[in-house]
Amino acid sequence: MDIRLFQSMLQAQTTDNLRLPSSSNSSALFNDLLMTQMQPPTLLNPIETGLSIREILEGRPSLLAQTSAVTTPVQANVAQDLDAIIKEAAATYQIDERLIRSVIKTESNFNQHAVSRAGAEGYMQLMPQTAKGLGVTDSFNAKQNIFGGTKYLRQMLNRYNNNTTLALAAYNAGPGNVDKYNGIPPFTETQNYVKKVLTQYQA
């Protein structure tokens, strides 16, 4: 409670009592104000409200609170552009766009800047040498990466007579290993990779 405000209220009450000794309205008003001041302040939790301490005291919402639930135009454009790129790549190389999405999901979980321990880069995790052979100059460029990866997947499909399983195995382990073992190589990573992509593709 603000002591100075309380003192001012007492002075005002005393003055009013002197001026209006028979008035009960003044006393009632004083009592109401006094009870209001005696109530403990309501404390807001900054974490729950999304406001800073200063903004709570000033009664203003933070910029974070105003924008956290809103998808920014940049985010929206990125999502729309990615969808358009996948559709265009699918049409260009005659591959089901669901398969492309499944590969991207498995390879990078749609992380444009993903880099594997082996050095594969971007959405479709292109190795630098493979990317170069596909004409990709920037593996972190969404369109170049997805078009390059889709082109490579089409090459593998052509090589294995549109056998999706073998094409995916070659995409992961290289066609040399698929040819060597005449099927999916006995590598746990490759076997799990093929299953994961096919499961998502066929879901």
Give me the residues paired with residue 126 across strands.
121
- Does the annotation count 58 as an active-site position? no
DSSP 69-130: TS--HHHHHHHHHHHHHHHHHHHHHT--HHHHHHHHHHHHTT-TT-B-TT--BTTTTB-HHH
Catalytic residue among 55, 107, 121, 189: 107
* Nearest 10 degrees: Cα torsion 60, 63, 64, 69: 100
Contact 95, 152 (CB under 8 A): no
Backbone angles phi, psi at 115, to 5 degrees: -135, 125
Report CA 97 to chain centroid distance, whole Å. 22
**Residues identified as active-site:** 107
